[in-house]
A and B are shown apart, each in its own frame.
Chain A
C-alpha cells in the first residue's frame, strides 16, 4: 500500500541513490514497483544490468496525463510503490508528493541544497492543505561523512528541528558502494570487497535507513487500524 516519494526539486541530492537503496532492502521481503519519472531514466539503466532483483518492477513511461493511472495500477498489484521524479519542480514531482504516504527529501548538507529542500517541504504543506490530510515527511541527509559532522550539517539539523521538520536518524553516508551499485548493477549485497571498499558498511547503512522507513509506515498502519 505505501507510496514513497523521493522529492527534491534539485538534481544530485541523492534521490535516485536513496530510492535504489531503499527499494533493494524492501524487495528482500516484499514486491516493489519503482516509477522512474526522470527523463534520463537512471533506474531503468540500473535495472537493465545483471543482478537486478526480480521482486522489483520498473515503470518508466510516465507522463503528466497517465501518472495517476500508472500509479494506481502499480499500487493495486504491488505493496510498495516508490516514485523517483525528475530533479526539477514540475507537475509530476508535485503529483508524486500528493500521492505519497511518505515523502523522503534527500538533502546534502549545503545551503544551496537546503534552499531547494525547503521548496519541497513547502509543496508538501500545499498538498496537505489541498487534500486535507497529513503527509509524513522526513529529511534524509545524504553523502555525509562518517568522520566529521560539518558545521553546515549541524546548523541545518538545528534549523530543521526548530521548524518542526523531522529527519531520519540514519544518514546515507558518502560511500563508494552506493555509486558502485549503479556501475556494477544489482544490489549492495552483490558487491564484494575486491570491487569496492567495505560494502558491508553500506549494507548496514541501507538496512538502518529501510528500518526507519518501515518504522514510519508501520506507525501509520497502526494509526489507521486503531
Chain B
C-alpha cells in the first residue's frame, strides 16, 4: 500500500517487518479471578443464567432398592408390620432389611 512516510512520533520500525523471532515465551499476569469475573459480569460479559439441571428441583436419594417383592400376607400381619415400622420410625423397606439382618444374626 502506498502511503506517505511518517516523520514524527516514536520510531515505528520498518513497516514491512514480519520477523516475529525476537519474542520469548513468558508467564502471563494472572488477575484476581473474583475481580476478573466481576468485571466480566458488570460489563455485560456474563454467561446467560444457567437453566435448571436435573436434580436441582428433584431430590434424588438413591437407595439401590430397585426390585419389587410382592407378598400376600394377612391383613393382621400387614398391620403389624406397618405398626412396627412406625414404632421404629423407619420405612417398611428399612424394617424389612432390619428383620432379615436380625434373623441372620440369630442363626
* Distance of A194 from chain B, by nearest CB (Å): 26
* Distance of A76 from chain B, by nearest CB (Å): 5
> A30 to chain B: which residues have CB within 8 Å?
20-21, 23
Q: Mark B12-27, 1 if CB is under 8 A from A, else 0.
A: 1101111111111111
Give the contacts of B21-54 with A (CB-CB under 8 A): 21-31, 33, 35-37, 39-47
Pairwise interchain contact A98-B36, C-beta atoms closer than 8 A: yes
Give the contacts of A89-140 with B (CB-CB under 8 A): 89-91, 93-95, 98-99, 119, 122-123, 126-127, 130-131
User: Which residue of the partner chain A has the closest CB to B3?
Assistant: A169
* Distance of B5 from chain A, by nearest CB (Å): 13
Count of residues in B whose CB is under 8 Å from the partner chain: 35
User: Which residue of the partner chain A has the closest CB to B10?
Assistant: A219
Count of residues in A whose CB is under 8 Å from the partner chain: 48
Cα distance A222–B22 when bound, in Å? Answer: 12
Cα distance A207–B14 when bound, in Å? Answer: 13
Cα distance A126–B40 when bound, in Å? Answer: 9
User: Which residue of the partner chain A has the closest CB to B41?
Assistant: A91
* Distance of A72 from chain B, by nearest CB (Å): 5
Given known A-B contacts A79-B23, A211-B18, A218-B22, A90 and B46 have beta carbons under 8 A apart: yes
Pairwise interchain contact B21-A76, C-beta atoms closer than 8 A: no
Q: Mark A159-197, 1 if CB is under 8 A from B, else 0.
A: 000000000011000000000000000000000000000
* Distance of A39 from chain B, by nearest CB (Å): 12
Residue B1 is within 8 A (CB to CB) of chain A in the complex: yes
User: Which residue of the partner chain A has the closest CB to B35?
Assistant: A130
Given known A-B contacts A122-B43, A126-B39, A211 and B17 have beta carbons under 8 A apart: yes
> B35 to chain A: which residues have CB within 8 Å?
130
Pairwise interchain contact B46-A71, C-beta atoms closer than 8 A: no
Pairwise interchain contact A75-B25, C-beta atoms closer than 8 A: yes
Pairwise interchain contact B15-A211, C-beta atoms closer than 8 A: yes
Pairwise interchain contact A130-B39, C-beta atoms closer than 8 A: yes
Pairwise interchain contact B10-A80, C-beta atoms closer than 8 A: no
Cα distance A99–B39 when bound, in Å? Answer: 13
Supplied contacts A77-B25, A126-B43, A211-B17, 18 more A-B pairs, CB within 8 Å: A1-B23, A3-B28, A26-B20, A68-B30, A72-B27, A72-B30, A80-B20, A90-B46, A91-B40, A91-B45, A95-B40, A123-B45, A126-B42, A169-B3, A211-B18, A212-B15, A215-B15, A218-B17
List the interface of chain A (C-beta within 8 A of B).
1-3, 9, 25-26, 28-30, 64, 68, 71-72, 75-80, 89-91, 93-95, 98-99, 119, 122-123, 126-127, 130-131, 169-170, 207-208, 210-212, 214-215, 217-219, 221-222
Nearest 4 CB-CB pairings of A with B? A94-B40, A94-B45, A30-B20, A79-B23
